[in-house]
Structure 1
């Protein structure tokens, strides 16, 4: 009887480990970009080319912003399209843009007190940014209008790989763990990282990348499931609602996920 239970348990674990998320190809289009930033619900495409960020919609004229004095744009976040943030790591500076890509605020962390040495930036609520301060190895919720830190997390003990956020949560991916915080700064989950290097989020769901394979994490589940995809180069990926975008340096592929 005991052997029978072990066999049933093994079969159950095997079946669960093989569960995956199906993805159906909807469209593929040519794209020449250095980095894709976001695609919103109206299919407005934000991307970077030659140190310039572009906002492109098929029914409207493309607009762009560049600041060559600050050099390369390390990351950009357009979760709040009225307060788009561009991070220039080489100059330890963040520029905030409005929805017309006009500059409305600039934060030079080299000149403010106390000095902050930043390696990751993402959007917070109101006038805040989630930033990672490498000197203290800690995540901070920074109010750039008042130059105050609303929250500082307990320092992490491993290298930070990625940072994502929305108005309610922030996800910090380190070499050892994936942390999730709420907007009060409380850590609400901590999952061991088994080799993931990048993340993308939408509506609380996550897409994670390990090697050249993508995985899906439901916002209400701890389980991380592989996404069924054909073999292709995954240079970049984005999640918008249940739509997965993959950029292979030549084409932008659009997939519909079947999220249960």
Structure 2
């Protein structure tokens, strides 16, 4: 009898400990939205998105928009600073900065720069500068928005990258081999490890990412080489964004906000 009881508890132990650990977000709210691409939300409660190549900023009945018919498709939006939003029009090698009401502050054509720049990646850096990757020289640089000069950083890249992301102090990129690197504003390059295959991804820090793969969402720790499933109540979703312990999921016509606690 004791042997049977022991076997039962042993089986129960392994069935519990063998279960895959999951992160279960707590639903907070949802907002209807008509957009082609969701960009981000800020601390003031505004949502940023693109519809028909027009950039929008919206909260309730407040709505701002910016469109530029002469610069083609919006390739990238950097909304880290709500007072200086950066739009990148890669087809025209041009960056536009906007204020908090989406009025133009500055238009920069890299084609007119004294040193030839063919930009294929941009991001807002600290001290009124932009991260700019020059695909002509395969080199990352910092571009001064006031002086209109650029300072090359580190050595030219040896391989192309499939994804990049920038914050004020770091520029992250993922090579086609899934290897991950970062460069700081002083030009120091760091090797951060390797990430799993993904369809979309967001860096949270030098050692943490959230990524989407096959319509599932995962938290991944680069140091531990470990993925944890984030269990969503959405069967399909278009994109996601994580900020300040909140996870935002964008479907075709809705933004859903969840509170989430990461390991």
Could you state the TM-score of these two structures normalised by the residue count of structure 1? 0.83
Correspondences of 1:120-131 after superposition (within 5 Å): 120-131=121-132
Q: Distance in 2 between matches of 1:200 and 1:37?
A: 12
What is the CA RMSD across the aligned residues, in angstroms? Answer: 2.7
Which of 187, 190, 200 aligns to 2:189? It is: 187
* 1:73 alignment partner in structure 2: 74
Do the aligned partners of residues 218 and 242 (structure 1) sit closer, same or farther apart at CA in structure 2, a change above 3 Å counting?
A: farther
Quote the offset at 1:34 in angstroms: 1.3
Moved more, 240-249 or 207-216: 207-216
* 2:247 alignment partner in structure 1: 244
* 1:196 alignment partner in structure 2: 198
Do the aligned partners of residues 142 and 63 (structure 1) sit closer, same or farther apart at CA in structure 2, a change above 3 Å counting?
A: same
Quote the offset at 1:25 in angstroms: 2.6
* 2:6 alignment partner in structure 1: none
Aligned length: 246
**Mapped pair 1:155 → 2:156:** yes
Which of 13, 33, 36 aligns to 1:34? It is: 36
* 1:113 alignment partner in structure 2: 114
Do the aligned partners of residues 193 and 133 (structure 1) sit closer, same or farther apart at CA in structure 2, a change above 3 Å counting?
A: farther
Moved more, 209-218 or 84-93: 209-218
Do the aligned partners of residues 89 and 237 (structure 1) sit closer, same or farther apart at CA in structure 2, a change above 3 Å counting?
A: same
Query: Is contact 1:26-1:255 (8 Å) kept?
Result: yes
Quote the offset at 1:17 in angstroms: 10
Could you state the TM-score of these two structures normalised by the residue count of structure 2? 0.82
- Structure 1: runs of 5+ lacking an equivalent: 1-14
Do the aligned partners of residues 217 and 184 (structure 1) sit closer, same or farther apart at CA in structure 2, a change above 3 Å counting?
A: farther
Q: Distance in 1 between matches of 2:19 and 2:150?
A: 42
Q: Distance in 2 between matches of 1:147 and 1:217?
A: 38
Do the aligned partners of residues 236 and 40 (structure 1) sit closer, same or farther apart at CA in structure 2, a change above 3 Å counting?
A: same
Q: Distance in 1 between matches of 2:109 and 2:76?
A: 16
Query: Is contact 2:200-2:239 (8 Å) kept?
Result: no
